[in-house]
Amino acid sequence: MRRFCLQFSIISGLREINEGASRYSASEQFIELGPLHIGIHKLGQQIADLCMEGKKYQIKDKVKKLIQLKENTLGKLPELQINVAESHVQ
């Protein structure tokens, strides 16, 4: 069940990328966020795999890295939204 939930999350994330691409694809900031977003999902998959394998002691550093990636990515969203909004006004 956990694997299914994670796969659903990855699929949802890909859908969000596609929706974001339709809105923001002309933005350089959006293009820069792509690898960060994909990295979050890949790292999440690694963490889930380690959990499934019972290797919970190896997860701590990966979770810290996941949180850093998430915060870095989310921190860039306001700038992206502002730039896109400004481009529609011009």
- For the stretch 14-24, pLDDT in tens is 555 566 666 66
pTM for the structure as a whole: 0.65
* pLDDT > 90: percent of the chain: 3
Going by C-alpha positions, the residue among 55, 73, 77 that lies closest to residue 65 is: 73
- pLDDT value of position 16: 57
Asked if 17 and 37 count as a contact pair (C-beta separation under 8 A), the reply is yes
Which domain covers residue 50, as residue numbers? Answer: 2-89
pLDDT digits (tens, 9 = 90+) for 15-58: 555 666 666 666 777 788 888 888 888 898 888 888 888 888 88
- pLDDT value of position 58: 87
- Structural domain count, the chain: 1
User: How many CA atoms lie less than 13 Å away from 32 in the CB half-sphere?
Assistant: 11
Average pLDDT score, the chain: 76
User: Token pair for residue 56?
Assistant: 């919970």
